[in-house]
């Protein structure tokens, strides 16, 4: 803080009269402070300086046919994931704020705490059979998703073979000489679908778990001697109808899926020897924004065989082929896209394929696996179109009539779904931290540089009851910088949570790691509280950092590493998500426990001496819910002592007002949070870097 008197006299008077400390090195305060006077900011009554917003998240997802997608999983991001869906490492760099699992009704409802400037969020699906991600825009009721795929109008004329040809967007009936034509849209959605076959949510969950994206396939599936073709086991005179139903695509490639058939006892010797071919799905692209094919789990095509009614005779085998990235969309709606038959094609018969040369597919010819789901009596085929060997790029299943036409005993079975992981909510996100900046001069205003103590934070909570309750919370704070002569303490409070609800406090995080700088540190509930949960992390920041000007600029200031404090609170009974979102950190000036400095309009704990309210520059009015905002004695009023932002930001140099280091802070505060909501970000004009300190990593 800055004084009008000499540093020594200033400290003496303040200590004697107000029982509080003063900031060291006030002589380093630059004259340029006069350019912006925070005391003259006209801040509206009721403004609490919050840089975050609370928004409801309401999700409902149904499958084709209307069944709720129970167990579907999503990650919730603040950043557009479109360019990173196939790049897990880059996707992990985006701001993930929550993981969610839908309930038996396919629903999830919770409260999210987000940066105030966020207007869109993104739900990235971790389950299969639906689009990869959804973009949600904020509304008056929050962020809402009610997804139900539309059953497209189907074509009933499917009795004749659709022989492969190079006709753009259409395939003629072929060697029967009939004129049945099958075509598709500009993005490859077929117009010859039959009625969909509903896909149970449990089935999708089993297949998705058996074939996880980006993980090398289960070797039991590869080592199986099961055929990758359908071998019809028919009696003389019997015929079989075979349908193929889309399950999911995990590849961004616009792959073309087709089929071929031949007499079982005279298989083709090579791919070139295949005579009878047909398309199933012209494009399996699952990209939701660019050229998405529109396919969802349940879309079904009836394969057309050589019989007059489109069925298959005895002694017939059916194989599949995939043209890698074979579809080229048309830019004109109404003009069908094109299938390029000259691109690399993979077949059920591995001997028709060239061996891979890179990645997990090096030396491997097998491009398709087939597994059997006992619960639904479905054989699932899944294809590898690249190099990672996950065999989850395109998946589909077959149904047939009569039931005995295919011997399912030859196929490896789909394993049970592993135990479900618990949902987690993160503040500010899973891979970013927020910043807390404190002035330690309350109840007096000082220089408003907000760097007496600087901490970064991240909180994570395990969520139960599909978004309603929290069973465990992990707190992580990094003490980054101090620039104050007085040795201030720090604590965190969850208001309105009785201490008796705590089952345990551990220094381990959710991964079972002790990331504390002081490995032997212990944490406990601070006694003396009845209605609030308070945990004190340390009594003196300067003691912890080894000096009273660490990671700032000025005479005698030194660099030092941040100190990490991390602990996990487990509750005997879950608490509300809204309580988790109401976490209240505060400093204890000089370690004197009767003093607390909180965020604006956050009430103190029971240990704070409320007699200091309405003294000096403090304008708190507890009866009105007004706390830690200034009166008009030495300012226009409503000036705060603590700033919290949901991002890791540089902090002002000693003596440099926030209003100078972050010029748009003024417009934001004066507007009452209607303008410049992103004032702290690295946007144009937000930061004056010459007035800021970037602490060492």
Token pair, residue 687, equals 């930061």
Give pLDDT < 70 ranges for the chain: 1-36, 152-181, 287-290, 696-697
Q: Given 3-state DSSP classes, what are the helix, strand and coil percentages for the chain, each rounded to the nearest 5?
A: 15, 30, 55
Task: Answer yes or no: do 326 and 394 share one domain.
Answer: yes
- 263-268: list long-range contacts, CB under 8 Å, 24+ apart: 263/315, 263/316, 263/317, 264/231, 264/232, 264/315, 264/316, 264/317, 265/315, 267/317, 267/349
**N residues, the chain:** 697
Cβ atoms of residues 57 and 139 within 8 Å: no
What is residue 282's three-state secondary structure? coil
In which residue are the tokens 């992981």 written? 421
Task: Answer yes or no: do 376 and 450 share one domain.
Answer: no
Task: Answer yes or no: do 382 and 474 share one domain.
Answer: no
Q: Write the CB contacts of 540 (distance below 8 Å, at least 6 apart in sequence).
A: 487, 488, 489, 591
497 is a domain residue: yes
Q: List Cα–Cα distances, 644 to 28, 116, 456, 561, 690, in angstroms.
A: 25, 12, 10, 21, 21
Last residue of a domain, one of 410, 425, 448: 410
Last residue of a domain, one of 410, 443, 478: 410
Radius of gyration of the chain from Cα atoms?
A: 32
Task: Answer yes or no: do 292 and 393 share one domain.
Answer: yes
Q: Write the CB contacts of 511 (distance below 8 Å, at least 6 apart in sequence).
A: none
Domain housing 333: 189-410
Quote the DSSP letter at residue 305: -
Last residue of a domain, one of 379, 410, 441: 410
Task: Answer yes or no: do 351 and 231 share one domain.
Answer: yes
165 is a domain residue: no
182 is a domain residue: no
* 613: alpha, beta or left? (left if phi > 0; alpha if psi -120 to 50): beta
169 is a domain residue: no
521-534 residue pLDDT tens: 999 999 999 999 99
d(CA 174, CA 572): 70
Task: Answer yes or no: do 488 and 403 share one domain.
Answer: no
Task: Answer yes or no: do 404 and 532 share one domain.
Answer: no
* 614: alpha, beta or left? (left if phi > 0; alpha if psi -120 to 50): left
* 272: alpha, beta or left? (left if phi > 0; alpha if psi -120 to 50): alpha
Q: Is the dihedral of CA 152, 155, 156, 158 positive or negative?
A: negative
Task: Answer yes or no: do 238 and 371 share one domain.
Answer: yes
Quote the DSSP letter at residue 375: T
Task: Answer yes or no: do 406 and 467 share one domain.
Answer: no
d(CA 591, CA 294): 62
Task: Answer yes or no: do 406 and 437 share one domain.
Answer: no
Measured at the CA of 343, the angle between CA 194 and CA 161, to 5 degrees, comes to 30
For the chain, how many structural domains are there in total? Answer: 2
687 is a domain residue: yes
d(CA 58, CA 451): 39
64 is a domain residue: no
130 is a domain residue: no
364 is a domain residue: yes
Cβ atoms of residues 91 and 84 within 8 Å: yes
Q: What is the CATH number of the domain that holds 271?
A: 2.60.120.400
Residue 76: Cβ within 10 Å count: 25
Residue 649: Cβ within 10 Å count: 22
Task: Answer yes or no: do 313 and 361 share one domain.
Answer: yes
Per-residue b or e along 486-515, where b marks 16 or more CB atoms closer than 10 Å to that residue's CB:
bbbbbbbbbbebebebbeebbbebeeeeee
Q: Write the CB contacts of 105 (distance below 8 Å, at least 6 apart in sequence).
A: 60, 68, 70
d(CA 32, CA 657): 10
Task: Answer yes or no: do 447 and 406 share one domain.
Answer: no
Q: How far is CA 544 from the centre of its chain?
A: 35
Quote the DSSP letter at residue 417: P
Q: How far is CA 220 from the centre of its chain?
A: 32
d(CA 84, CA 595): 48
In which residue are the tokens 């601070």 written? 526
């Amino acid at each position: 803080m800055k004084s009008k008197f000499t540093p020594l006299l200033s400290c003496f008077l303040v200590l004697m009269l107000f029982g509080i400390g003063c900031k060291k090195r006030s002589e380093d305060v630059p004259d340029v402070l006069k350019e912006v006077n925070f005391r003259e900011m006209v801040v509206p009554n009721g403004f609490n300086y919050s840089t975050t917003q609370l928004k409801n998240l309401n999700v409902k997802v149904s499958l084709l046919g209307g069944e709720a997608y129970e167990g579907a999983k999503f990650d919730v991001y603040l950043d557009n994931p479109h360019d990173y869906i196939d790049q897990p490492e880059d996707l992990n760099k985006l701001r993930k704020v929550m993981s969610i699992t839908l309930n038996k009704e396919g629903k999830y409802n919770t409260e999210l705490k987000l940066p105030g400037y966020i207007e869109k969020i993104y739900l990235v699906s971790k389950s299969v059979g639906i689009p990869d991600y959804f973009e949600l825009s904020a509304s008056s009721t929050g962020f809402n998703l009610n997804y139900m795929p539309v059953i497209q109008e189907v074509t009933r004329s499917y009795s004749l073979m659709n022989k492969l040809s190079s006709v753009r967007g259409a395939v003629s009936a072929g060697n029967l000489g009939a004129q049945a034509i099958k075509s598709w849209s500009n993005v490859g959605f077929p117009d010859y679908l039959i009625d969909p076959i509903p896909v149970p949510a449990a089935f999708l969950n089993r297949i998705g778990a058996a074939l996880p994206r980006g993980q090398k396939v289960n070797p039991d599936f590869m080592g199986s001697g099961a055929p990758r073709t359908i071998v019809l086991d028919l009696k003389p005179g019997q015929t079989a109808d075979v349908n193929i139903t889309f399950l999911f695509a995990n590849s961004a490639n616009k792959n073309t899926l087709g089929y071929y058939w031949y007499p079982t006892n005279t298989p083709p010797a090579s791919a070139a020897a295949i005579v009878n071919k047909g398309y199933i799905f012209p494009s399996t692209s699952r990209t939701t924004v660019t050229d998405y094919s529109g396919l969802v789990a349940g879309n079904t095509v009836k394969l057309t065989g050589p019989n007059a009614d489109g069925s298959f005779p005895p002694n017939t085998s059916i194989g599949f082929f995939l043209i890698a990235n074979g579809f080229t969309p048309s830019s004109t709606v109404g003009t069908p896209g094109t299938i390029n038959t000259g691109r690399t094609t993979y077949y059920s018969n591995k001997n028709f394929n060239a061996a891979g040369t890179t990645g997990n597919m090096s030396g491997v010819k097998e491009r398709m696996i087939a597994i059997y789901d006992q619960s639904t009596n479905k054989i699932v085929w899944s294809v590898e179109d690249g190099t990672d060997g996950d065999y989850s790029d395109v998946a589909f299943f077959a149904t047939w009539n009569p039931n005995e036409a295919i011997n399912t005993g030859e196929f490896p079975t789909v394993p049970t779904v592993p135990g479900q992981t618990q949902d987690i909510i993160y503040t500010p996100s899973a891979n970013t931290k927020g910043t807390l900046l404190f002035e330690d001069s309350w109840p007096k205003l000082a220089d408003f540089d907000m760097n007496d103590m600087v901490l970064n934070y991240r909180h994570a909570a395990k969520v139960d009851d599909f978004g309603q309750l929290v069973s465990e919370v992990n707190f992580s704070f990094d003490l980054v910088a101090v620039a104050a002569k007085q040795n201030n303490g720090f604590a965190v409070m969850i208001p309105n949570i009785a201490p008796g609800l705590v089952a345990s406090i551990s220094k381990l995080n959710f991964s079972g790691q002790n990331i504390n700088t002081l490995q032997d540190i212990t944490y406990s509930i601070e006694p003396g509280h009845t209605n609030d949960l308070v945990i004190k992390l340390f009594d003196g920041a300067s003691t912890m950092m080894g000096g009273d000007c660490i990671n700032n600029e000025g005479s005698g200031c030194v660099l030092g590493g941040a100190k990490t404090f991390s602990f996990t609170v487990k509750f005997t009974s879950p608490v509300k998500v809204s309580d988790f979102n109401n976490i209240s950190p505060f400093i204890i000036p000089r370690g004197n426990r009767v003093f607390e400095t909180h965020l604006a309009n956050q009430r103190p704990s029971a240990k704070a001496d409320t007699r200091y309210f309405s003294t000096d520059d403090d304008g708190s009015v507890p009866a009105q819910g007004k706390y830690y905002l200034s009166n008009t004695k030495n300012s226009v009023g409503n000036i705060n002592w603590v700033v919290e932002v949901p991002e890791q930001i540089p902090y002002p140099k000693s003596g440099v007002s926030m209003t100078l280091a972050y010029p748009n802070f003024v417009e934001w505060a004066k507007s009452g949070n209607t303008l410049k909501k992103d004032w702290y970000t690295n946007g144009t004009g937000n930061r004056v870097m010459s007035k800021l300190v970037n602490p060492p990593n």
